[in-house]
């Protein structure tokens, strides 16, 4: 029995156990069970009474924040339907499966086969949704990094704000990102004596985007990136680590790292601030269309499971619904090469809804064909692999199946991705030694991912380089020769083969680690055209009154190719800009 879809029937909440007589069953009691979640073991305690699941408590979990929170939806369903055959929560399949496995394990310990659980009698309703009309100053579509920045800013500027989010959890791609943030002239650069300024970031960004970027928009990002990183730190409570990352295409090391090298830090702190400011966030509420009156956007129509909303925005609507990396039809429409054979690093919510809604009110679109792939992803699922932090700290040598280097390890993402696609099996092998492993804090920040990689034979560890290379059946002699040559380049401070821009350490200390990886769709550079006030512009070049946009849903900022860590600066800077301007400050 799958959870019944909303348009068919909605089950009345009264769970009535057929034949329930209140008599104690021999399996009554509290049982523990363990499943494998996204982040490792997920342990639950399940209360069973008269062949009914009456309570589930999570005892232990290491799921990504937000994904763990989404499990409450699943727990409610298991109890409501008295069944483990319920739908997983969209966008958190691995965590959901872990929970279901843990509950089944507990049932097993109770000696109960899930199919013997008592049937729940369900009463159908008429499927009619409640019509709800509400009025706010500002309505934000999407509770990712841009949407939350916009909502917080608008509220701080005195507006009455609502956020609608279609997924059961807030955060979008921002939540699962590394959230490294380019901030020229930052305090760590000052400490390390690295000279930088916004103009240099503008030039790097234009160069990285092959000069089709909108220079004015890039300038807004670069000039406000540092101030907004400080805003995140001082107003929102984000903790930045005390070191920097060096992303491809940046001419200097300028990227801040949030605590734990994860977007969790940004989203958790933004959500805490939104709660403090009493900003309502309607989860599982999907914006469907913009309401236009007399050439002006005055609100949105949105749908939840049981409500149809007409939401009026007296001051403005801000679209912050993210990119379209998970929408294969839209990808292929604009770039036929990026088809369903290429996996994606994005959350399932990245389907370009804001672009579709904008188009219907004649918004202009820019750069839709420019879709970025990330070079180092899970060849099985497309998930971006944070093992790659080691590369961004400069510690990696990348080879192909034949054991040869073929690209600069700190090159542009598009260049690296295309180079990998050309290699045997369209995969690459990232090698680090113990020094790189420790220096990159892989155990500290990404332990569940490492466990997953080892279990799935995507990461190997061995005392010697030869042994590690053998495990992947690479050409061992060539691997050793490539690494030996690389080590001489580290000594010389120069890589004559591929001109790798950072050579911090040799690969010489065992154990050695090798990761197998492949590129996947990562970022969609195109989207709604905006001006420097984050106002959406129509196909005739006029501002669409009442409509603002920020974040990955917009186009023009990153040109043909986004530089790593530029998106976070973009979404916070333009999120705040949209919030401020929509609030009318």
List of residues contacting ligand FAD (CB under 6 A): 141-147, 164-167, 171-174, 176-180, 286-287, 320-322, 345-346, 349-350, 353, 384, 522-523, 551-553, 564-568, 571
Beta carbon of residue 507, minimum distance to ligand FAD (angstroms, whole number) = 24
Q: Is 405 a catalytic residue?
A: no
- Beta bridge mates, 121: 16
- Beta bridge mates, 244: 256
User: Please, which residues have CB within 8 angstroms of residue 191's CB and are 6 or more apart in sequence?
Assistant: none
Beta carbon of residue 578, minimum distance to ligand FAD (angstroms, whole number) = 11
Beta carbon of residue 91, minimum distance to ligand FAD (angstroms, whole number) = 8
Beta carbon of residue 171, minimum distance to ligand FAD (angstroms, whole number) = 6
- Helix 67-81 to helix 93-109 angle (10° resolution) is 50
Closest CA to 75 of 61, 510, 516: 61
- Do residues 559 and 525 lie in contact, with contact meaning Cβ atoms separated by under 8 Å? yes
Our CB check for ligand FAD shows the closer of 322 and 526 to be 322
Query: DSSP character for 124?
Result: B
Beta carbon of residue 428, minimum distance to ligand FAD (angstroms, whole number) = 18
Residue 10 is encoded by which pair of tokens?
Answer: 């909605």
Closest CA to 475 of 551, 540, 423, 549: 423
Closest CA to 224 of 577, 540, 507, 472: 577
Our CB check for ligand FAD shows the closer of 114 and 280 to be 280
Our CB check for ligand FAD shows the closer of 150 and 431 to be 150
Measured between alpha carbons, how far is 213 from 521 in angstroms, rounded to an integer? 20
Measured between alpha carbons, how far is 431 from 508 in angstroms, rounded to an integer? 11
Our CB check for ligand FAD shows the closer of 142 and 519 to be 142
Measured between alpha carbons, how far is 60 from 43 in angstroms, rounded to an integer? 5
Measured between alpha carbons, how far is 503 from 490 in angstroms, rounded to an integer? 5
Helix (H, G, I), strand (E, B) or coil at 356: helix
Measured between alpha carbons, how far is 352 from 343 in angstroms, rounded to an integer? 17
Beta carbon of residue 148, minimum distance to ligand FAD (angstroms, whole number) = 8
Our CB check for ligand FAD shows the closer of 84 and 383 to be 383
Q: Scan for tokens 């990285």, then name that residue.
A: 208
Q: Scan for tokens 């916004």, then name that residue.
A: 198
Measured between alpha carbons, how far is 256 from 109 in angstroms, rounded to an integer? 48
Beta carbon of residue 53, minimum distance to ligand FAD (angstroms, whole number) = 30
Closest CA to 358 of 172, 537, 143: 537
Our CB check for ligand FAD shows the closer of 506 and 523 to be 523
Beta carbon of residue 24, minimum distance to ligand FAD (angstroms, whole number) = 45
> Between the CA of residue 279 and those of 141, 154, 168, 234, 298, what are the distances in Å?
13, 10, 17, 20, 20
Our CB check for ligand FAD shows the closer of 10 and 355 to be 355
Say which of 254, 391, 405, 413 is annotated catalytic.
Answer: 413
Our CB check for ligand FAD shows the closer of 273 and 522 to be 522
Go through the chain and tell me how many residues it has: 585
Residue facing ligand FAD at closest CB distance = 144
Closest CA to 156 of 266, 265, 239, 279: 279
Catalytic residue positions, numbered: 413
């Amino acid at each position: 029995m799958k959870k019944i879809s909303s348009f068919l029937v909605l089950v009345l909440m009264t769970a009535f156990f057929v034949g329930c007589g209140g008599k104690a069953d021999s399996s009554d009691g509290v049982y523990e069970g363990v499943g494998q979640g996204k982040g490792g073991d997920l342990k639950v305690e399940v209360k069973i009474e008269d062949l009914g699941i009456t309570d589930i408590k999570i005892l232990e979990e290491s799921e990504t924040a937000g994904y763990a929170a989404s499990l409450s939806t699943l727990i409610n369903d298991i109890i409501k339907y008295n069944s483990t055959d319920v739908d997983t929560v969209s966008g958190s399949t691995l965590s959901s499966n872990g929970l279901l496995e843990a509950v089944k394990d507990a049932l097993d310990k109770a000696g109960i086969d899930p199919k013997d659980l008592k049937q729940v009698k369900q009463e159908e309703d008429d499927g009619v949704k409640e019509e709800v009309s509400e009025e706010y100053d500002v309505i934000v579509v999407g509770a990712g990094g841009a949407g939350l920045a916009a909502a917080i800013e608008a509220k701080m500027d005195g507006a009455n704000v609502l956020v609608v989010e279609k997924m059961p959890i807030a955060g979008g791609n921002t939540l699962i990102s590394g959230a490294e943030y380019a901030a020229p002239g930052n305090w760590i650069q000052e400490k390390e004596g690295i000279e930088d300024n916004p103009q240099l970031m503008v030039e790097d960004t234009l160069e990285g985007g092959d000069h089709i970027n909108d220079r004015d928009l890039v300038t807004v990002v670069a000039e406000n990136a540092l101030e907004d990183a400080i805003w995140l730190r001082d107003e929102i409570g984000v903790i930045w680590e005390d070191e920097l990352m060096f992303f491809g295409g940046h001419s200097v090391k300028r990227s801040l790292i949030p605590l734990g090298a994860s977007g969790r830090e940004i989203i958790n702190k933004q959500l805490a601030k939104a709660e403090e400011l009493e900003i309502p966030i309607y989860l599982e509420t999907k914006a469907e269309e913009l309401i236009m009156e007399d050439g002006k956007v005055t609100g949105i129509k949105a749908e939840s499971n049981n409500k149809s909303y007409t939401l009026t925005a007296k001051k403005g609507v801000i679209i912050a619904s993210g990119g379209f990396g998970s929408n294969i039809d839209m990808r292929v429409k604009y770039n036929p090469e990026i088809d369903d054979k290429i996996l994606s690093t994005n959350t399932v919510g990245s389907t370009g809804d804001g672009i579709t809604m904008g188009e219907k009110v004649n918004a202009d679109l820019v750069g839709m064909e420019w879709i970025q792939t990330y070079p180092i992803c899970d060849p099985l699922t497309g998930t971006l692999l944070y093992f790659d932090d080691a590369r961004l700290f400069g510690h990696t040598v990348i080879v192909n199946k034949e054991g040869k280097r073929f690209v600069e390890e700190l090159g542009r993402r598009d260049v690296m991705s295309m180079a990998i696609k050309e290699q045997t099996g369209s995969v690459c092998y990232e090698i680090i030694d113990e020094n790189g492993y420790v220096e990159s804090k892989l155990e500290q920040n990404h332990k569940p991912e490492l466990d997953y990689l080892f279990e799935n034979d995507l990461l190997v560890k061995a005392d010697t380089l030869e042994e590690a290379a053998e495990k992947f059946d690479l050409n061992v002699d060539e691997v050793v020769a490539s690494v030996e040559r690389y080590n001489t380049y580290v000594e010389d401070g120069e890589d004559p083969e591929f001109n790798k821009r950072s050579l911090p350490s040799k690969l010489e200390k065992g154990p050695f680690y090798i990761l197998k990886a492949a590129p996947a769709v990562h970022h969609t550079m195109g989207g709604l055209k905006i001006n420097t006030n984050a106002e959406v512009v129509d196909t005739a070049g006029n501002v669409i009154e009442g409509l603002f946009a920020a974040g990955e849903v917009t186009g023009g900022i990153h040109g043909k190719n986004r530089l790593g860590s530029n998106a976070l600066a973009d979404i916070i800077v333009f999120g705040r800009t949209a919030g401020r301007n929509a609030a009318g400050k």
